[in-house]
Amino acid sequence: MPTLSIPSNLYWFPRSLINLWNLGIIGIAFLMALPVLVIASFVFLPASENWQHLVDNLLAEYVSNSLLLMVGVSVGVLSIGVITAWLTSMCEFPGRRWLTWALLLPLAIPAYIIAYTYTGLLDFEGPVQGAMRAWFDWSYGDYWFPEVRSLGGAMVMLSLVLYPYVYMLTRAAFLEQSICVLEVSRTLGNTPFRSFTRVALPLARPAIVTGLSLALMETLADYGTVQYFGVSTFTTGIFRTWFGLGDSATAAQLSATLLGFVFLLVIMERWSRKRARFHHTSNRYSEIRRYQLHGKRAWLAFIACLSPVLFGFIIPAGQLLYWAINTATETINWSFALLAWNSVMLAGISAVVAVLLALLLAYGKRLQGNLLSNTGVRIASMGYAVPGTVIAVGVLLPFAWLDNSIDAWMREQFNISTGLLLSGTLFALVFAYTVRFLSVSIQAIESGLGKIKFSMDDAGRSLGLSPTGVLARIHLPLMKGTVVTALLLVFVDVLKELPATLILRPFNFNTLAVRAYEMASDERLADAGAPALMIVAAGIIPVIMLSRIISRSRAGGVQE
């Protein structure tokens, strides 16, 4: 790659850092960080009347509900994820083989969709309470039933769909542990349970913390579930401030407060990943000999692993299928086809853009390998931790300012109004999706590049290929599977994204996620079945891929 000429006033800067690859990485990193920088800048603005009103009356509720939600989800995902990871990794019982991958299926269902299905099932007019009244001849007020639309209900819904983050990382950690260490623990007189609590669990703690932090980031980013259940959190507060009060500055300040919580979770995740480097046990691996469970213990293990799959996927998916079949003649029409096209088109464009940028960033980092390129890639990857609501606000504010500036200049110079060129367009949506999910594609591409030896690069260069030629003619053919995986992961994530789409979508433009949300908000839950079912069906494919990757992750081999 040619080196740029260096102006005389930049001779202090290392020449090796002034090249197109580094400049490209820094430019992309700045664009991806722009929404976060815009939101962070509002911290320094003076407090407005609306902000003071929020601080005096609502902020404490937003903080307390968000913290309580995080605590409840932490308990749920840890108890489900860690227990099921240990049972499927180290124990043998009926159904273990198919439960190993089935436990990841709830990851395919967005939290707001599972909230709609359980509301339809458990509300007063739902089939569960209806059956209870019919069986016991009860009427309204004769019995107590837990309120689904509540903070506790939101905790349960989010736990059911987010525990796979803890499960898959913890299971991978258990599979990667040396079986020799566990055998030594057994020879010292420890029971399987004590070996789990004293040896395996402490060694897997970094992976558990990482999975927990990812689940909590998704909890803070959730909007559909908490809004539908009437729980006031930061995300619902941002929407109310933006659309209810029409105050973008206060919404941005509230978003900046939410960023503080996210920043703490990012620090926790980074800390856990660093600690993972020091938790290696032994380089000797042997085939896992699982503890054979019999009788009651085997059935208890089966029920413990089946329950999350049953309540987190089978029941919600069955309810969605029932609704979709019953309303097919009314909901599946040309309008539904247009919704599906809008969703697929947006997800496809965003996935291609994200993967292309990920290739440039990851390959530039491979070529340069310096602090500047590494920092740029890390900055560009931080969008995964930022809620879609915050990114949408951070995108709309600078885009609206730029649109207004261009329109004012054109009016002054040529008496022509340009209107909205960026904000309220598909470009803004794709940009927000790219910021949010670029990290997903970068991680996949870096993983693929890491498997290619640097000698392949040297061979390509010795044959006269440029760096881009090496990427196009050597690396990409070797990484076809990795690129397809990255495309698929971003595609499904965009398909499920709700808050950013609600804020940034063009006028009269809907997607499957937005239609499901609108139908549920109008209490037309059955009509939400078809679009929600399509989103769930699309999410199953990457879930199965993740399960296969985890199962093959152990160096010493593992019998499935």
Domain membership flag for residue 263: no
- Are 197 and 203 within 8 A, CB to CB? no
Query: In the structure encoding, which two tokens stand for residue 43, read together?
Result: 């911290």
* H and E: helices and strands count for the chain: 28, 2
Q: Are residues 91 and 185 in the same domain?
A: yes
DSSP 3-state assignment of 3? strand
Helix (H) or strand (E) holding 91: strand 91-92
Q: Are residues 322 and 333 in the same domain?
A: no
Q: Are residues 389 and 412 in the same domain?
A: yes
Q: How far apart are CA 51 and CA 57, in angstroms?
A: 10
Domain membership flag for residue 257: no
Q: How far apart are CA 118 and CA 99, in angstroms?
A: 23
Domain membership flag for residue 182: yes
- Are 408 and 57 within 8 A, CB to CB? no
Q: How far apart are CA 428 and CA 500, in angstroms?
A: 10
Partnered with residue 292 across adjacent β-strands are 92
The CB-side HSE value for 160 (13 A sphere, CA atoms) comes to 27
Domain membership flag for residue 262: no
Q: Are residues 138 and 231 in the same domain?
A: yes
- Are 88 and 308 within 8 A, CB to CB? no
Q: How far apart are CA 472 and CA 490, in angstroms?
A: 22
Q: Are residues 512 and 556 in the same domain?
A: no
Domain membership flag for residue 356: yes
280-286 long-range CB contacts below 8 Å, 24 or more apart?
281/177, 281/178, 281/180, 281/181, 281/203, 282/178, 282/180, 282/181, 283/178, 284/178, 284/180, 285/178, 285/179, 285/180, 285/554, 285/555, 285/556, 285/557, 286/179, 286/180, 286/556
Q: Are residues 558 and 443 in the same domain?
A: no
Which residue in 357, 305, 264 sits closest to 79, CA to CA? 305
Domain residues for the domain of 78 are: 62-235+280-326+540-560
Domain membership flag for residue 174: yes
- 475-532 tens-digit pLDDT: 888 888 788 888 888 888 898 888 999 888 888 888 999 999 989 888 888 888 899 9
Q: Are residues 199 and 81 in the same domain?
A: yes
Which H, E and C letters describe 164-179, residue by residue?
HHHHHHHHHHHHHCCH
Which residue in 430, 368, 427, 388 sits closest to 517, CA to CA? 388
- Are 493 and 542 within 8 A, CB to CB? no
- Please state, in angstroms and as integers, the Cα–Cα distance from residue 395 to each residue in 44, 276, 405, 500, 520, following that order: 19, 35, 16, 10, 27
Query: In the structure encoding, which two tokens stand for residue 163, read together?
Result: 């525990």
Which residue in 68, 102, 67 sits closest to 88, CA to CA? 102
How much is the pLDDT for 70?
94
- Are 171 and 85 within 8 A, CB to CB? yes
Which residue in 477, 478, 456 sits closest to 467, CA to CA? 456
Domain CATH for 196: 1.10.3720
Q: Are residues 455 and 309 in the same domain?
A: no
Domain membership flag for residue 129: yes
Q: Are residues 373 and 312 in the same domain?
A: no
Q: How far apart are CA 490 and CA 441, in angstroms?
A: 7
Q: How far apart are CA 135 and CA 129, in angstroms?
A: 10
Nearby residues of 8 by Cβ (< 8 Å), 6 or more positions away? none
Q: Are residues 388 and 342 in the same domain?
A: yes
Q: Are residues 70 and 143 in the same domain?
A: yes
Partnered with residue 414 across adjacent β-strands are none
Domain membership flag for residue 347: yes
pLDDT, averaged per 10 consecutive residues of the chain (560 residues), comes to 42 50 87 90 80 87 93 95 89 88 89 92 87 85 86 95 90 68 57 64 78 88 91 91 83 88 79 57 54 87 94 94 88 86 92 92 84 84 85 91 89 84 88 91 83 82 82 84 83 89 88 90 88 88 70 49
Which residue in 357, 216, 255 sits closest to 36, CA to CA? 255
116-119 long-range CB contacts below 8 Å, 24 or more apart?
116/228, 116/516, 116/520, 116/525, 116/528, 116/532, 117/315, 117/316, 117/319, 117/320, 117/525, 117/532, 118/148, 118/153, 118/157, 118/316, 119/148, 119/149, 119/228, 119/520, 119/525
- Please tell me whether the overall predicted TM-score, pTM, comes out greater than 0.75 for this model: yes
Spell out where 277-348 has E strands: 291-292
How much is the pLDDT for 554?
47
Domain CATH for 388: 1.10.3720.10
In single-letter form, the type of residue at position 223 comes to Y
How much is the pLDDT for 559?
46
Which residue in 422, 335, 439, 432 sits closest to 380, CA to CA? 439
Q: Are residues 382 and 417 in the same domain?
A: yes
How much is the pLDDT for 184?
56
- For residue 92, what is the DSSP state? E
Q: How far apart are CA 211 and CA 171, in angstroms?
A: 11
Q: How many domains does the chain have?
A: 2
